[in-house]
Structure 1
């Protein structure tokens, strides 16, 4: 069984939980065991516990994000020690890119990152697919005989001290690693997520229209913010309108949704697709009604990036057809 250490910023704890959920089958099959600082028992010393588990790990996951790079503890301490062990062949380091950031020039930038192409997990339309790719990379590393840590051959190497534990009747006994609890999301949380997603989609469209215009001769993009809850977008070729849309929040029949209409409209009761905010036991996400693309997005748990990509694909589809 390979031991896995999570090096991460607490700002990314929810994403770490989702990754650990994807690793559940590997833990059930006793392919891996996992450890992170939330496993430290009350009364234990923080630094020695982390150092001992980091030194003992076979695979070290660097959960990379702006918060990770900004954390002196994550970057200067955990990452430095992880890379030293990787370079000595004692462990394998896998960078897992959680959120977009400038990580390529970091010491671990030379390593193959997950998910595929180092695309940040939060930028995937379906986060489950991204986490699955990470889990598959971890599985491959765990089963690779070359991933077996090459322990120091020096006979005088000091043994790794076990983590300090609180004096209790269960601190040294067996316990489950399945300690993740279900999270609850209030109506306020869902409303905030909906509005934040709408603002993200608005910025996404404005930037994408500008980039589309810059890359394609004869193409012009027009973005117009109508009010706090609505914007429109139009794409022209040689001055002729080829595609247009309106994206807006709420409506008589979908107050908790974000709707897309393939026309410029002030009507809030007709649309071509609508995304509603839903939640599972770990995160908030968006789900489409399936009106676009024959329902292909109905079963997907869309991130903010995924929602924006879905609406953008609907806008540019007429320009991509021959």
Structure 2
């Protein structure tokens, strides 16, 4: 079943709407999503009636939130108000997409998980296409979860009861698995700081550089932990935490040397 999305936007933000549709093209081509905007209203049609009918048949309400959107009486007080009513009845899922910096955190949108990631406005991303990709990824995940929830009740008719017990089995991890976990954790932390520095470096008047610090090899660990898997796991965890602190300290120190601000500003 194709999901239907009502896109609410200010006409001042038409360029963002056009760009969003381009990024949604794969979802739409796959038959997973179709969108509705006021462009679909025929000349001479009753505006309010057309909008309310479209809202009533939609599963998702995508709001392109900006200063102009919040200032629009029709977008905010008509479309969004009706979307809230339908959402409270469980008939509609509201998805705010923050396109420009605005006071949305002091609006009802603050109660809803926004896109892109962390509600960072699209206009503030170094590459707007990356921001739109994050929006599309979030919508694809939402559509998949909606489809999964529709399938679950049907499964119970074939013997999969909603109240079936889930058996939990405790898993024991050997020293190799623990070391693999520590290595992966270190790689994830390293990737996080590398991406953070890359994002900072893309901001005007701010410089950042990522340097990979040396890491102790497993054979350099104390012999006291060689035959103690628990002690080895604790050392691996402590080592990963130490590298995270070192990377964070280096990043903060670098920013301070570049004149970004004091510890309070950086935190």
Q: Corresponding residue for 1:179? A: none
Q: Is the 8 A contact 2:201 2:209 kept in 1?
A: no
User: Which ranges in structure 1 are unaligned for 5 or more consecutive residues?
Assistant: 150-296, 298-305
Pair 32,84 (structure 1): closer, same or farther in 2 beyond 3 Å: same
Q: Give the counterpart of 2:205 among 295, 312, 321.
A: 312
CA distance in 2, matches of 1:89, 1:308: 43
CA distance in 2, matches of 1:17, 1:102: 24
Q: Corresponding residue for 1:61? A: 62
1:72 deviates by: 0.6
Q: Corresponding residue for 1:51? A: 52
1:105 deviates by: 2.1
Deviation per CA, 1:133-155, whole angstroms, max 9, x where unpaired?
11111111112137979xxxxxx
CA distance in 1, matches of 2:148, 2:73: 28
CA distance in 2, matches of 1:75, 1:136: 26
User: Which ranges in structure 2 are unaligned for 5 or more consecutive residues?
Assistant: 151-197, 211-252, 258-267
**In proportion to residue count, which structure has more strand?**
1
RMSD: 2.7
CA distance in 1, matches of 2:81, 2:113: 17
Partner of 2:96, secondary structure, is strand
TM-score normalised by L of structure 1: 0.48
Q: Corresponding residue for 2:118? A: 117
1:313 deviates by: 3.2
Larger Rg belongs to: 2
CA distance in 1, matches of 2:200, 2:14: 23
Q: Is the 8 A contact 1:8 1:63 kept in 2?
A: yes
Partner of 1:48, secondary structure, is helix
CA distance in 2, matches of 1:308, 1:38: 40
Q: Is the 8 A contact 2:16 2:99 kept in 1?
A: yes
Q: Corresponding residue for 1:134? A: 135
Q: Corresponding residue for 2:109? A: 108
Q: Corresponding residue for 1:161? A: none
CA distance in 2, matches of 1:144, 1:3: 15
CA distance in 2, matches of 1:61, 1:105: 19
Q: What is the number of residues matched between the two proteins? A: 166
Deviation per CA, 1:83-103, whole angstroms, max 9, x where unpaired?
111121101000110100011
Pair 108,145 (structure 1): closer, same or farther in 2 beyond 3 Å: same
Deviation per CA, 1:203-233, whole angstroms, max 9, x where unpaired?
xxxxxxxxxxxxxxxxxxxxxxxxxxxxxxx
Q: Is the 8 A contact 1:22 1:135 kept in 2?
A: yes
CA distance in 2, matches of 1:65, 1:106: 12
Pair 73,308 (structure 1): closer, same or farther in 2 beyond 3 Å: farther
Pair 147,106 (structure 1): closer, same or farther in 2 beyond 3 Å: farther
Partner of 1:95, secondary structure, is strand
Q: Is the 8 A contact 1:3 1:33 kept in 2?
A: yes
Q: Is the 8 A contact 2:61 2:94 kept in 1?
A: yes
CA distance in 2, matches of 1:39, 1:308: 42
Higher relative contact order (CA 8 A, sep 6+): 1
1:43 deviates by: 2.6
* Structure 2 residue 31 is the aligned partner of structure 1 residue 97: no
Pair 146,80 (structure 1): closer, same or farther in 2 beyond 3 Å: farther
